[in-house]
Amino acid sequence: MALTSVFAVACASSATTVAGAATPHATPRTAPASVSKPLEDQPSNIVEDFSYPGAAQILATRGITLKKGDGHILLVDCVAGDATQIVVDARARPQTCFHVTGPVGDLTLQIPRTYDIRGGDRNLTATLTPEVSGDDKTYDVAAGQWTSVGETDVGGYWALMEIRVG
């Protein structure tokens, strides 16, 4: 019998054979049944889906949909004179402002009837889609500059769908 086979047999049994003599092993211990939890009682793994926290309440109170992002573009209260904020103008709603917390950022959202965007302290791209039909259009928005988008650029109502920084 090969040495590995002897070793495997020795490990599988409750005794070890050393030079033909049997030496008893201690019985393996098992955890008490009370320590084991049924699978349904154990916490599940957390999976990040990048959904915007509080999105339902924001939709109800502000009429804008914040879908998903990387956490670096945050909805904030607009502060007059704050040149760091991204500012979005849209028909029939107050200005909407965002703050960027990292070198890059991405946020998918929906702000209907957007017509003007200011870049804050960062260059950004803004993607809009027509509210009736047609192809999306992406705009480059320079830091600190207002850019006419959607209806003021090509006519009709457009919804802001994505902001990207970096």
* Domains of the chain by residue range: 3-41, 55-165
Say if residues 162 and 109 touch (Cβ distance below 8 Å): yes
Q: What gap in Å lies between CA 82 and CA 52, rounded to an integer?
A: 24
Out of 3.40.50.880, 1.10.1740.10, 3.20.20.80, 2.60.20.30, the CATH code matching 55-165 is 2.60.20.30
Q: Kindly tell me if the per-residue pLDDT of 65 is higher than 70.
A: yes
**The model scores a pTM over 0.75:** no
Q: Is the pLDDT of residue 119 over 50?
A: yes
Q: What is the pLDDT of residues 21-39, one digit of tens each?
A: 444 455 555 544 444 444 4
| Position 40 pLDDT exceeds 60 | no
pLDDT at 96 over 50: yes
Place 50 in a pLDDT band, splitting at 50, 70 and 90: low
* Spatial separation of the C-alpha atoms in residues 81 and 39, rounded to whole Å: 54
What's the confidence (pLDDT) of residue 54? 85
